[in-house]
């Protein structure tokens, strides 16, 4: 994909200690030591029931272009702490790891391995920063967008946040993630050019202010864009001048040219009240098909309340609270060592122990499964197993809470699906890129498999991520070894 973001080599976008550790591994004979790292997250943003996976394609693009340029080596040499042998290794660097990942658009849950890298520890450790940066950001925005889209109950939601985003990458990749999460388009033009996310927009208040009066501004816009005439009506007074002038222009400039008006946009005030009044005015004037679009610091809760109060809104433009996920601006994904491999291929599990239970990692090379009820199609639970384990969905299967182990359930008539896909094998990308429309459709379909109780915004039902008995036994044994 030829995008603006790919014109910069991002290999050196890494925490400095990734390079110092790599040099240390190299010096201690671990250059070819095979290690396994998992990415997982501990908490769903906004205390929601699930998150949405996003950013995988940017990880693919990064790994495919992973190489050190001469100026990178010169910089590292000037640091004075790296061996010349290590610098020569970097100069001839070739990514050779295997990578497994949950596909974009898939609902994901705390504690489960959403991405695993297997390969020489020097490489597998080094890519941590960029993997976390990419997945954390785009999953955060896709998750927020999905919440907002679900609040809109089928009404289009447009991403309007470029000017509030944290930098260019935040705007462009945020718009991409928002589309995966369900938005119908974006105000970010470059995201349409580079990713095919539909660019949308009408006018600013400055357009109206630039003309001698509002009516003249509306007329000029209608003459220029009669096929999609949507007028911003709150520059001066929505009900006294904005809507009446819009109606006048619809009748005198749009309809005579053989078109129907697109509608109006309200960007301030008591939007529910104004939308109700404007709807009646438009209907009475013979424009029941004219849509009402609203904006102004919206989020899922404001949209939900508007619709509960009967606001006749047809679409929403959502900016700063979406593109920054301002209510919960951090997606806490982490990247932890879970196993190493001996020369004979034996996999040795590794664990991080903490007094904070949520920070205790799950060891071993693992596989992630989602269990679906065959009758309803709904997701029952996710199960993390050893990589060489399979779940036989032709037989009853017992799931249990890995923390509160007395909570057990035997399920039958279910379908077990291995969630993660291998995207790199020995450093070579082995998947084809999906279109964003396909990813958006995947997201919509997979979210629909979650029960409404899991989807609710307030106090959602906990979706269980369980461990297989074999994996739980290994983890428990390691905990016993390190805590007694």
Q: Please, what are the domains in the chain?
A: 4-141+329-483 (3.20.140.10), 145-323 (3.20.20.70)
Helix, coil or strand: residue 398:
strand
Distances (CA, A) of 189 to 132, 161, 168, 186, 441: 26, 12, 12, 7, 22
Query: Do 31 and 25 contact (CB within 8 A), yes or no?
Result: yes
Q: Output DSSP code: residue 164.
A: G
**What is the predicted pLDDT for the residue at 484?**
65
Measured between alpha carbons, how far is 473 from 400 in angstroms, rounded to an integer? 13
Query: Do 322 and 345 contact (CB within 8 A), yes or no?
Result: no
Measured between alpha carbons, how far is 213 from 236 in angstroms, rounded to an integer? 10
- What is the separation of C-alpha 1 from the centre of its chain, rounded to a whole number of angstroms? 19
Query: Do 398 and 126 contact (CB within 8 A), yes or no?
Result: no
Report the relative pairing of strands 185-186 and 157-159 from DSSP bridges: parallel
Measured between alpha carbons, how far is 400 from 89 in angstroms, rounded to an integer? 47
Helix, coil or strand: residue 122:
helix
CA nearest to 402, candidates 378, 366, 373, 453: 366
**What is the predicted pLDDT for the residue at 1?**
47
Number of separate helices (H) and strands (E) present in the chain: 17, 21
Query: Do 23 and 95 contact (CB within 8 A), yes or no?
Result: no
- What is the separation of C-alpha 248 from the centre of its chain, rounded to a whole number of angstroms? 43
Residues contacting residue 282 through CB under 8 Å, at least 6 positions apart: 243, 247, 263, 264, 288, 290, 292
Phi, psi of 161 (to 5 degrees): -105, 10
- Sign of the torsion formed by the C-alpha atoms of 233, 237, 243 and 248: negative
Tokens of 80: 């004075």
- In 231-361, which ranges are continuous DSSP H helix? 243-249, 271-284, 300-308, 320-323
Measured between alpha carbons, how far is 338 from 348 in angstroms, rounded to an integer? 9
- Cα(first)–Cα(last) distance of the chain, in Å? 53
Task: Kindly report the pTM of this predicted structure.
Answer: 0.96
Query: Do 463 and 382 contact (CB within 8 A), yes or no?
Result: yes
Distances (CA, A) of 306 to 300, 375, 396: 10, 35, 46
**What is the predicted pLDDT for the residue at 357?**
85
Measured between alpha carbons, how far is 346 from 388 in angstroms, rounded to an integer? 13
Query: Do 130 and 13 contact (CB within 8 A), yes or no?
Result: yes
What's the burial of 90, exposed, middle or buried (CB within 10 Å: 0-12/13-18/19+)? buried
What's the burial of 483, exposed, middle or buried (CB within 10 Å: 0-12/13-18/19+)? exposed
Taking only the tens of pLDDT, the chain with its 484 residues reads: 445 545 678 999 999 999 999 999 999 999 999 999 999 999 999 999 999 999 999 999 999 999 999 999 999 999 999 999 999 999 999 999 999 999 999 999 999 999 999 999 999 999 999 999 999 999 999 999 999 999 999 999 999 999 999 999 999 999 999 999 999 999 999 999 999 999 998 899 999 999 999 999 999 999 999 999 999 999 999 999 999 999 999 999 999 999 999 999 999 999 999 999 999 999 999 999 999 999 999 999 999 999 999 999 999 999 999 999 999 999 999 999 999 999 999 999 999 998 888 899 999 999 999 999 999 999 999 999 999 999 999 999 999 999 889 999 999 999 999 999 999 999 999 999 999 999 999 999 999 999 999 999 999 999 999 999 999 999 999 999 987 6
Phi, psi of 422 (to 5 degrees): -80, 125
Dihedral of the CA atoms 185, 134, 439, 300 (nearest 10)? -50
Tokens of 388: 């060489």
CA nearest to 169, candidates 147, 144, 145, 136: 136
**What is the predicted pLDDT for the residue at 459?**
96
């Amino acid at each position: 994909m030829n995008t603006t973001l790919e014109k910069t080599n991002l290999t050196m976008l890494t925490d400095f200690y990734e390079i110092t550790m790599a040099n240390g591994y190299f010096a201690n004979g671990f250059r070819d030591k095979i290690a396994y790292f998992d990415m997982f997250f501990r908490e769903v943003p906004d205390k929601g029931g699930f998150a949405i996976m996003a950013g995988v394609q940017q990880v693919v693009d990064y790994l495919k272009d992973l190489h050190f340029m001469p100026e990178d080596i010169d910089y590292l040499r000037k640091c004075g702490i790296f061996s010349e042998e290590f610098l020569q290794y970097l100069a001839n660097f070739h990514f050779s790891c295997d990578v497994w990942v949950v596909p974009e658009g898939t609902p994901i849950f705390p504690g489960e391995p959403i991405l695993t890298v297997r390969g020489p520890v020097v490489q597998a450790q080094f890519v941590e920063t960029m993997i976390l940066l990419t997945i954390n950001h785009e999953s955060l925005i896709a998750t927020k967008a999905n919440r907002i889209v679900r609040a809109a109950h089928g009404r289009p939601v447009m991403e309007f946040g470029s000017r509030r985003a944290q930098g260019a990458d935040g705007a462009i990749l945020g718009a991409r993630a928002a589309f995966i999460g369900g938005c119908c388009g974006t105000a970010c033009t470059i995201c349409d050019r580079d990713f095919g996310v539909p660019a949308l927009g009408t006018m600013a208040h400055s357009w109206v202010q630039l003309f001698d009066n509002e009516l003249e501004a509306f007329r000029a816009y209608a003459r220029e864009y009669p096929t999609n005439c949507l007028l911003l009506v709150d520059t001066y007074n929505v009900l006294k001048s904005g809507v009446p002038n819009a109606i006048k222009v619809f009748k005198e400039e749009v309809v005579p040219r053989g078109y129907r008006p697109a509608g109006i946009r309200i960007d301030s005030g008591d939007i529910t009240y104004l939308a109700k009044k404007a709807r009646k005015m438009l209907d009475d004037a013979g424009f029941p098909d004219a849509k009402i679009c609203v904006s102004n610091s919206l989020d899922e809760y404001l949209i939900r309340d508007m619709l509960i109060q009967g606001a006749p809104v047809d679409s929403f433009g959502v900016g700063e609270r979406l593109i920054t996920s301002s209510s919960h601006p951090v997606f806490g994904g982490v990247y932890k060592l879970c196993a190493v491999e001996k020369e004979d291929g034996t996999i040795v599990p590794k664990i991080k122990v903490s007094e904070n239970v949520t920070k205790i990692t799950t060891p071993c090379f693992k596989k992630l499964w989602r269990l679906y009820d065959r009758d309803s199609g709904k997701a029952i639970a996710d199960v993390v197993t050893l990589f060489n384990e399979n779940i036989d969905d032709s037989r009853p299967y017992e799931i249990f809470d890995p923390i509160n182990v007395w909570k057990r359930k035997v399920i039958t008539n279910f379908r077990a699906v291995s969630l993660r896909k291998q995207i790199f094998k020995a450093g070579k990308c082995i998947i084809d890129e999906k279109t964003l429309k396909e990813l958006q459709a995947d997201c919509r379909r997979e979210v629909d498999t979650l029960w409404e109780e899991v989807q609710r915004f307030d106090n959602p039902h906990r979706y269980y991520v369980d461990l297989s008995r074999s994996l739980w036994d290994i983890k428990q044994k390691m905990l016993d070894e390190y805590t007694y």
